[in-house]
């Protein structure tokens, strides 16, 4: 196998995903709030991947403006990630339809059939996250166009199951629609392995945080460059009476303060100084605004450094095009190396 044959093989492996997304490489950019905005999204799409705007807590007007601004920076397809629990979800869906976005990705829960139908009627494709085989099958029955499976190695809000296990459970069971794998992916060899397992492509978030086009603060990027995989840990829950939604982030002073806050709140509750509702609210409000403080303001001590375990593979600032080229080259090298080893063993 020469380089040309390896490229043909890789193109064959992710053809379904690339055609589904309308891009050259079936590499999706993970939707990271405050990071995945027009500059990074357009850069990913322009480099041959598929950028995705993180709507997060944007208002419908803000999302409409972000879509329009992104379209000024790229003529290639990109998507929008919408949080199902957003109070203005219907208006956000309208903004995507009006903006003629090619793909809408639903996260944080099951999208309604009505929203799926509305988006599909406008000519766009729909995607959603499946945390396990039953949800994946249900999404297929709902006529979803594509599925993303994201393991616990991912940054931000995470589920309990690893990427490798989800891939083994879902990829052989779901063939009706393209399935993209996410969570802890930082190199091209991993992308290749999931493609060969049956994935149509992969989604990477953490790997793109330190792209030159990313507007993340220099201190935020520096924290990623210095971090090892073991530094990206899920948030800890001290008392099952007060649930904490697991969020993976780089450990910092705020992580320690969160544990101290939980201890203090639990003690006050046990002494009868707080109601259970007030105690839960105080715990939940600890991280309010902390992601923006870290990403935009550069407060890496009291802000939230959401990152996946692939952060250990982020070693320097690069252009988005260089990152994607590096990922593709790693996949091609893996194919060529395997071919040489097999030839040598015969």
- The 10s digit of each residue's pLDDT in 302-313 is 999 999 999 999
CA of 240: how far to CAs of 262, 276, 278, in Å? 11, 12, 16
What pLDDT score does 341 carry? Answer: 81
> In angstroms, rounded to a whole number, what is the distance separating the alpha carbons of residues 236 and 220?
22
- The 10s digit of each residue's pLDDT in 46-60 is 999 999 999 998 999
Strands 232-234 and 27-29: unpaired
Secondary structure of residue 80 in the 3-state scheme: strand
Give 111's DSSP letter.
Answer: P
CB-based contact 26:19 (threshold 8 Å) = no
Q: Which domains does the chain have, with CATH numbers?
A: 3-204+316-345 (3.20.20.70), 218-310 (no CATH)
CB-based contact 306:291 (threshold 8 Å) = yes
The answer on pLDDT for 343 being more than 80 is no
- The 10s digit of each residue's pLDDT in 69-121 is 999 999 999 999 999 999 999 999 999 999 999 999 999 999 999 999 999 99
- 53's enclosing H/E stretch is strand 52-54
Averaged confidence pLDDT in the chain: 96
């Amino acid at each position: 196998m020469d380089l040309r044959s390896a490229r043909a093989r890789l193109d064959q492996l992710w053809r379904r995903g690339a055609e589904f997304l309308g891009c050259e490489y079936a590499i999706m950019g993970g939707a990271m709030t405050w990071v995945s905005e027009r500059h990074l999204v357009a850069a990913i799409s322009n480099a041959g991947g598929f950028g995705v705007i993180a709507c997060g807590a944007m208002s419908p007007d803000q999302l409409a403006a972000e879509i329009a601004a992104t379209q000024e920076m790229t003529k290639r397809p990109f998507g929008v990630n919408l949080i199902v629990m957003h109070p203005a979800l219907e208006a956000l869906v309208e903004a995507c339809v009006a903006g003629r976005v090619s793909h809408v990705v639903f996260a944080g829960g099951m999208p309604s059939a009505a929203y799926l139908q509305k988006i599909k009627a406008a000519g766009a494709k729909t995607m959603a996250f499946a945390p396990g085989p039953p949800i994946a099958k249900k999404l297929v029955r709902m006529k979803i166009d594509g599925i993303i499976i994201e393991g616990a190695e991912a940054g931000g809000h995470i589920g309990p199951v690893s990427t490798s296990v989800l891939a083994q459970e879902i990829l052989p069971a779901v063939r009706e629609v393209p399935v993209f794998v996410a969570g802890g992916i930082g190199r091209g060899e991993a992308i290749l392995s999931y493609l060969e397992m049956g994935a149509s492509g992969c989604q990477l978030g953490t790997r793109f945080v330190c792209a030159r086009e990313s507007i993340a603060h220099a201190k935020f990027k520096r924290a990623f460059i210095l971090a090892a995989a073991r530094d990206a840990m899920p948030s800890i829950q001290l008392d099952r009476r007060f649930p904490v939604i697991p969020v993976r982030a780089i450990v910092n002073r705020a992580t320690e303060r969160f544990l101290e806050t939980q201890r203090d709140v639990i003690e006050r509750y046990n002494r009868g100084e707080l109601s259970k509702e007030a105690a839960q609210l105080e715990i939940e409000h600890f991280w309010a605004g902390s992601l923006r403080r870290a990403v935009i303001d550069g407060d890496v001590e009291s802000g939230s450094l959401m990152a996946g375990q692939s952060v250990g593979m982020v070693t320097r600032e690069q252009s988005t095009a260089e990152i994607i080229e590096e990922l593709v080259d790693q996949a091609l090298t893996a194919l060529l190396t395997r071919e040489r080893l097999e030839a040598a063993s015969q």
